[in-house]
């Protein structure tokens, strides 16, 4: 066996350029497959850990997935708001321990603005029940105070004490800016790896204050209320986008959900975050599977290239194989030689693919986190990734048998051919 390994290594070295290209192809396909698998799991984990300890998300009647997308992930927009009286009635329900009102719609330089109250900092949890922590500063206490998510502060280089201007809607035009009512940064949250990092937080009274002289999404002509005068107005919100609800006893969650749906005062709906997330993944599961199929096909193409390269070289290597037979090599030795060569290239390609993935995560991890909110760190392969690697190696083993069988037959035929 040692002799066969030495012969396989020397034979591979003689064709190092061709096999090197095949090695690179297998490494890149392995990197792609593992990269997609890791991104898929990180995105799924990030979604599932975005909210924790919240029993119900209440909003205007729409699809549960859409309610979760805009209330938790700040994606899309609400079809309708819910009245402030309904939010207060929900908070007064004997079964409810706490509520967090949420109001969305404005932005700051591409980041969503979330208006809420200080219950948000007391009761909102993420991950495995982790509370929000301030990295510096304190929660908002005045009308024009704001608390920034970690990513907002990092990307826009803000610090406590800076002043920022919010934009109506998603912004994009200076005419939509609330430039007459700037906010001061009073706190910056610690990084959570959730949509909280990409959110600008203000008080409900602040959201009401900047829209006193706005109506129907446009500034009222001829009316301008300065920041110094807003405190003379009633800043109680009229509507909110959604309400997060925590119960005293989780066994009552279905009863309260039914009561909210049956309430004739206002058409509302209450969704369980876990159930809505399962529905969301059923929707995006098709895309996930498609990505895996594409990456698997890339691996298959790499294996086909390896097999075709070795098969194509057999005609040129008949003299080499004949010499091996003449010095006593048996047909099965030739078979093992070609199979070992293919398996060696396959194993080396898989290991190189792991190395490339690790280097890519070191280089691109911060950019992916900043641009897409996907946190990827170089780690040891997870069980699912190890299973994929084993399948790749197994497929490489099967593929390596084909050139070996072909060499076996050629070697046997050459050995049976009478020499003149």
2-14 and 16-48 are packed helices; what angle lies between their axes, rounded to 10 degrees? Answer: 100
What pLDDT does 126 receive? 86
* H or E, element range at 184: strand 183-189
pLDDT tens per residue, range 131-180: 999 999 999 989 999 999 998 998 899 999 999 999 887 655 555 778 88
Structure tokens at 360: 């890519």
Q: How far is 346 from 351, CA to CA, in rounded Å?
A: 9
What pLDDT does 113 receive? 93
What are residue 331's phi and psi, to 5 degrees?
A: -55, -35
264, exposed or middle or buried, with CB in 10 Å at 0-12, 13-18, 19+?
exposed
Q: Where are the domains of the chain?
A: 2-47+284-416, 56-271
Closest CA to 51 of 249, 193, 191: 193
Non-local CB neighbours of 379 within 8 Å, separated by 6+ positions: none
pLDDT tens per residue, range 331-356: 677 677 777 777 777 888 888 988 98
What pLDDT does 233 receive? 87
Structure tokens at 181: 């009512």
Q: Hunting for tokens 């949509």 — which residue is that? A: 195
For residues 16 and 346, the answer to whether their CB atoms sit within 8 Å is: no
Sign of CA dihedral 220, 221, 222, 225: positive
What pLDDT does 33 receive? 80
For residues 399 and 70, the answer to whether their CB atoms sit within 8 Å is: no
What pLDDT does 419 receive? 46
CB neighbours of residue 212 within 10 Å: 17
For residues 11 and 341, the answer to whether their CB atoms sit within 8 Å is: yes
Is the pTM of the predicted complex or chain greater than 0.85?
no
The residue ranges of the chain whose pLDDT is under 70 are 1-15, 46-48, 170-175, 216-218, 222, 283-285, 287-288, 306, 310-329, 331, 334, 365-377, 404, 407-420
Non-local CB neighbours of 36 within 8 Å, separated by 6+ positions: 291, 292, 295
């Amino acid at each position: 066996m040692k002799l066969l390994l030495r012969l396989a290594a020397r034979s591979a070295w003689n064709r190092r350029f061709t096999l090197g290209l095949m090695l690179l192809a297998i490494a890149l396909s392995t990197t792609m497959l593992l990269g997609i698998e890791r991104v898929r799991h990180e995105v799924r984990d990030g979604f599932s850990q975005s909210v924790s300890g919240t029993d119900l998300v209440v909003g205007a009647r729409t699809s549960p997935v859409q309610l979760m997308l805009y209330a938790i992930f700040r994606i899309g927009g609400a079809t309708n708001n819910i009245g402030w009286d309904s939010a207060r009635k929900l908070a007064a329900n004997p079964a409810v321990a706490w509520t967090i009102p949420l109001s969305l719609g404005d932005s700051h330089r591409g980041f969503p603005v979330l208006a809420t109250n200080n219950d948000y900092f007391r009761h909102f949890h993420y991950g495995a029940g982790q509370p929000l922590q301030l990295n510096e500063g304190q929660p908002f206490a005045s009308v024009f105070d704001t608390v920034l998510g970690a990513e907002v502060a990092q990307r826009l280089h803000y610090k406590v004490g800076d002043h920022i201007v919010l934009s109506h809607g998603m912004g994009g035009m200076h005419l939509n800016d609330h430039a007459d009512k700037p906010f001061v940064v009073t706190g910056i949250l610690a990084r959570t790896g959730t949509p909280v990092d990409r959110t600008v937080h203000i008080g409900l009274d602040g959201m009401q204050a900047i829209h006193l002289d706005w109506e129907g999404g446009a500034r009222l002509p001829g009316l301008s209320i300065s920041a110094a005068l807003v405190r003379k107005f009633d800043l109680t919100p009229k509507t909110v986008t959604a309400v997060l609800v925590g119960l005293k006893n989780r066994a009552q969650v279905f009863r309260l959900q039914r009561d909210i749906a049956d309430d004739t005062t206002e058409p509302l709906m209450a969704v369980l975050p876990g159930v809505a997330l399962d529905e969301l993944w059923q929707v995006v599961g098709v895309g996930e599977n498609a990505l895996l199929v594409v990456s698997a096909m890339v691996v298959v193409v790499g294996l086909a290239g390896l097999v075709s390269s070795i098969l194509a070289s057999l005609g040129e290597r008949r003299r080499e194989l004949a010499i091996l037979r003449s010095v006593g090599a048996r047909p099965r030795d030739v078979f093992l030689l070609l199979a070992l060569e293919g398996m060696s290239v396959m194993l080396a390609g898989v290991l190189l693919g792991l190395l490339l993935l690790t280097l890519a995560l070191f280089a691109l991890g911060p950019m992916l986190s900043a641009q897409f909110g996907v946190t990827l760190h170089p780690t040891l392969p997870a069980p699912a990734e190890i299973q994929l690697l084993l399948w790749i190696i197994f497929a490489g083993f099967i593929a390596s048998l084909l050139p070996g069988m072909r060499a076996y037959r050629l070697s046997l035929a050459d050995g049976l051919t009478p020499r003149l």
